[in-house]
Structure 1
């Protein structure tokens, strides 16, 4: 609630305005007279309660009050202007709605001029106390902004529109101006939902505990935070638990994707994390999007391709995304001047799909040739390895499963008869190629 300031209308009141204000004025007079009538104090408690219900009378602390519902800001100003007639003992207060508009005008009756002064002082003290709380959190925002450190969030657009409107400035008229204003305060905003998209089963997961549970079951990330379990009702009120969960989820995702959020010698984001920063635009939810805590995998566009066109790659630098790796190898050899696609299987291994028949065999021959040259030779010297789909089939048949697929493929290559059966096993198999940046082993 806030203390009101009366603004006189320059325009003449309409018939509807006149009817509305006369009705409210009559109601206020009747309520005020009833409250001042000393004879009502002798009534029985039941009678007094019934009169309060009929008159709409309530209490604000120890003082009588009544609420006047309004439908527009014009009605608010009409009510405030009308209440000027009773300014000797009535104090109007604004009751705001959630959206920032006015829900009602509360009228408080004071017993004397001294009581009115006392009440206004109480209101002023409450206002200053609220301002201190707001300024206190604003100081936190200023400290975060001055540090230039990245801010991690899970529901970025919703969170930062609230923070901007409450602690920075009114929301700008369009999204571009909002983002410009926000980035002047928080230069690096990381939405963990963008990181989650690198792991296909988490693309449409919105429940934080579900995402953490999935990562814990399927990936090795040596970190954990113990969060006391609460019942469903009280848990929603403990926002500190959400902060811990978001922090844990972010740390696990960075560990799995081999991303160090901050460079050791500066406050700048590492290149690998810049791709996920400042993406706050809302996205349309698919019919398969999870809202109840269940993991659901979206049905994206797929194409059936022959496994003869697939090549497994590993030995590249940790932390690379599919886009980064594709850009790296694109200029390494003439083979990649033809159309090809690339998907990550896990943090250690990727699959290259050559759309033109025969290029996969050509690429494998080049990788195994002593005549390899150019930047591809440099990548090989740094540890880049390649194998056909048949090597992966050997991994499956022998059950050579390590934490990273790259280690499994290395062990399969060490088998003495592995290369002899590679092509014969792969020729008759088709796989479904997804449009995601990652692909699951189950899809192979």
Structure 2
């Protein structure tokens, strides 16, 4: 809403010089950097009517730059949201032989690994209080342990042992269509729905 002069064709050194001269010698002119829609940056000399007008314009520019920086930070955070949600919501995490996975997640997203195992366990438990490691469960189960020792405790071996009908039909089909397993899912203890999953 202010009269402005768009500065095109100047080097960065020339633009810096224009900014310094404008700020030092012209009270009614303001040097402004503005992000354009094409993600390029425009430099402008903007005319203001009064000191209040100039201060208001500078505040708007500062607020705009601050908001843009916040948006860049939010966009850069990326995968952190995937880690933050189970931690902040105290969600159940299920993995198979996931000790090393949890250690990598901790070191990349939560901080340096603690120096002792006790401190590490305490800190992991604070961030992720509900972790189930299916390999540990299989090794601790008195019924499955003898069978698992013979076949190994990999996830595919455990699946083949615990769900033999599904595992054998999947292996026997080759490249044909895979059977579906109907799973009853309960959400927050309030409602349930059916979910069809490929049995791999």
TM-score (norm 2): 0.42
Which structure shows the higher strand fraction? 2
TM-score (norm 1): 0.20
